[in-house]
Structure 1
Amino acid sequence: MAYGEKVTADPSTFDDPQYMFLRERLKALKDGWEEVNQMWENRQALLSQSLNLQLFNRDAKQAEVFRSLIKKHEALLTTMEANDDKMNGVLQFAQRLVSEEHFGSDKIQKKADDISERRNYNHELALSQLEKLKDQLLLHQFLQDCEELHDWIQEKNVLVQEDTYRTAKTIHSKWTRHQAFESEIASNKERLQQVQDIVKNLKTFKRALKIKEKGFLMLGELIYMNNLVMILIALLRTWKPKFKQKIEMKKKEVNQRFETIIAPLEARKKELLTKKEIFQFKRDIEDENIWIEERMNSAVSDDYGNSLQSVNMMIKKNKTLKGEIDNHEPRIRSVCEIGQKLIDDGNPEADIFRQDIQDLTEKLAQQFFFDANEAEAWMSEQELYMMVEDRGKDEFSAQNLKKKHEEILENAVEDYASNVRQQGETGRQLMDEGHPDSEQNRLNREVDDLEQWIAEREVVAGSHELGQDYEHVTLLWERFLEFARETQATGTERVANANEIADALISAGHTDAPTIAQWKDGLNDSWADLGELIDTRTAMLEASRELHKYFHDCKDVLGRILEKKNSMSDELGRDAGSVSALLRKHPNFGQDLQGLQTQVQAIQAESAKLQASYAGDKAMEITNREREVTKAWSELQSMTDTRKAKLNDTSDLFNSSTWFEPS
């Protein structure tokens, strides 16, 4: 164009028709070029505004997402607070069971503590998550405000740079519009100030963190100086005058001489008291054995009387003997406590004392067993009367039966209740003192309870359900992992406690040691079998989860490939500009396929791994899924290459037609 203007600039060519026609063509070409530039600038402005709109929509959508999450989280907190009453009710009920010494108090307390800890943890985690969501919302709102303010400034900056003031037309309206523009800028100045204040606060917080770190360093230096001063003070205290050292030495010598006198006296006093306790214990043990032997002869006598009078007399003597035994029992326990104290002090005759205590406890336990058997026999006898179904044939006989029930049976049960309660207290005391028979009974109950608990767990661990799809098998896998963790934690502790009790009884030389060893071996075998079932079930679920995840990934990748196929437009453009725009967009589409290609390669690698682990129909299905993905991916690549070739051909076509267009 510059060359054409140079050619037509010669004055001699002003009247030449050809040069005049050339000048007109150059002017038309210049005007057309300016129009193209103007159209490009308008298109650039429109695309920039569209981009800013999409960015704004994205940020706004993110802010709305966080608002929605905050509402859902607040609803969750409300639900948790509403369920606190139920939780508190469960915990109170558990506490009441524990206070009533329920046989499962340990498990109940552990479960209640676990529920309480999980509730507190969930509540703290929910509050922490809510704070994070609010922080993210504030961050996106801040970024959104910054983006909106930036776009607004850019828009107004374009208006400021316009040179419409050079024309004098409608100058008053332009002045009025400019004043309105200044007012709009002044009103939005507060928004800019708010953004600047937030940024300033963030910088201040960053400086405060640096100051805090510096403060920690200064604190360490102060601690070091304080330790140094304390060392110096200790050194100064050692620098005392010589006469003070002599006084201290003299004082120490006197104290040592006094200690040499006191120590032997205290040692002899302690030895005498120990000897007195030993001899007193031996005398008490002997007296108690004599007392028990005398009462035992009366308790196990086979003389039941020959007449009603003699039987009634023996019943009264038996009640008197029972009361005497109950009143004397605290004395026996006091003697046992004294002997246990001597054993704990490490007396040389500890083994003899331990045997004496065990013999005395055995005799007392035999009395307890005798009384317990007697109580069981009496209750069994009363049950026979209770099981009689004779309700009377008429009113008179029914009234007689009711009277007999109230006067005889109810009164007898009420009178005997105190005896049963006393037996229960005696049994608990024997258990608290660690009687061997009580430990064996407790071990027997614990082993039976554990065997039943393990059998219930084996039913769950032996399930063959492997899930219908990826979501189902994942749910089964997560639940079984929780089941395995709970089983391992609870079972390990309970089995270890049972083994510890069994080992203690066997080491103590219990008479039923072979039976106890058999219980222990059976329990350990059951626990080992349960562990193998859990490991097998875990491995099966993990393998099933891996297979279903492969199927799920294949389905997901196929869906994405289909989505890309559907999103690929068939439009080739109406002119060179539209074709050029489509060619610029096509590489972006190819870049989007890079992530999809990575997923396809991952599926191929997973397929090779699974084919090595499966055979038969499963292996065939794995191979078919991989072929479907690979085939769809190849078709998508072919479609992409074909579209690129068509766009290039179309572009070449429009470019050639432009060159051949007549001037």
Structure 2
Amino acid sequence: MRETWLSENQRLVSQDNFGFDLAAVEAAAKKHEAIETDIFAYEERVQAVVAVCSELQAERYHDIERVCARRDNVLRLWAYLLELLRARRARLELSLQLQQNFQEMLYILDSMEEIKMRLLTDDYGKHLMGVEDLLQKHALVEADINVLGERVKMRLLTDDYGKHLMGVEDLLQKHALVEADINVLGERVKMRLLTDDCGKHLMGVEDLLQKHALVEVDINVLGERVKMRLLTDDYAKHLMGVEDLLQKLALVESDINVLGERVKLENAYAELVHLAVERRKRLEDSRKLWQFYWDMADEENWIKEKEQIVSHKALEADVSAHEPQLMSVAAVGDELISQGHFGADKIQERLRDILSQWNHLLDVVSLRKNRLDAAVRYHQLFADADDIDNWMLDTLRLLKKHKDVTDELKNYANVIQQLKQQVRSRLAAIDSRHAELAELARLRKQRLLDALSLFKLVGEADAADQWIAEKHRMLDTMLPPNDIDDVEIMKHRYDGFDNEMNANASRVAVVNQLARQLIHVEHPQAPRIQERQAALNGAWSALREKAESKKDELKSAQGVQTFHIECRETNFRILESSMDPAHWS
């Protein structure tokens, strides 16, 4: 049963029906994982065969050699199945990588087609700003092309199409191993069938029938292994099944398709780079043309603007300074014409128009200069006379205005004096209020400090009162016992209380010191402070008196208990002496 299952699974994992697209290969990968799970779950049954063989070997089974041979055969089939499984996994991963690379190539080709359509447009701009915008967009396209170039390089570097088929040498070695196993098993079966032993009694015949049934099983296993060898042999050494040949032929065709896509990808990328270079060159030429038009328009506008300038000197200066720029632009136009630019005719016409306007501007400047010189001399006399009249009128207006200002200053003298007096009185009132506010702030601060000191005194006194009341209650619980041990315990408690009382005496001293300080500085609550101090000192004195009284009681109780003990000891010695016979003698 196990050998048949192993043979069937060997036949199953020997089939490379992975499919021819990414989805099919991914589905085959999931199916292969399920096959691996089933096969690995069968390992326990193989180990069970080994365990049974070990038990039979330990029990010295009479036909242990045949059992061991069957075990070795199962282990060999199992190892061969695992090897086939690993090889199929490797081929499946390579096929998956192949389909992924092929899919990536298709994506890259689609991206190239999209960029190619953008490069084949005839739009080179209708003005300079449009050309600049197109150049910026083209720079982005070139960046996309560079990114695609990196992706193409990665695809071409990572593709490896020689790993889809196993090496012929490896297949021959596997075939030799399988053939040797089949020969050994066949010889064993043949030797068992050629024996003349047909049994000498009924039990012997039944035993031979059981052995013959096992031989028939071996023959079936041998047949399955022969079928497996015929199905899995490499076509370079033996004939293969038609289905396996078609599968491997499909892998080869996939390699050929990928190689074709690889060449197509390289050609498409090279064409894309060429189109990008050509479009950039045309855009640069278009930018030069529209830059020339732009400069010519600026020159024309400048000439028209200068014709309207009133200042002749400014006009002459601008013309002299602008002439080199105009000649530079004209030189650029001549250079474009000499290079055979596609807009050479329009450039030539534009140059003639601008130079004609420039010469006309120079003639206008010269004529205007002569007319202005004559007009200057004519109007100079009238200008000087008008200046003198205007100066005299301005002087008269200034004298009248000065008299008005002087009268106004005299009228405001009394008002200014009154304001000065009001300011002085207001400052005195502000100083008085400030001093009063400072005194109130000082008094409030002192009251706050007094209140803080009072609260601190009250807090310390309350804490001391609470402690004294607690110790009063403790002393009330310390009653003289009737046992010497209890007296010692009570005395130990009193000693602890006495130490604690000595330690807390400083708290009462602190309260008295604070009270004396507050009374000394004439605190507003001095009577209350004295009353609180007297109450605390009275409670403290009462506690001390009560403690001394309790101490005397404990000493008295200790003396009484000691006397009782001595009396008991004396009675015991007297009784002991009276009972001793030696004493009577």
Q: Same fold (TM over 0.5)?
A: no
Higher relative contact order (CA 8 A, sep 6+): 2
User: TM-score of the superposition, structure 2-length normalised?
Assistant: 0.30
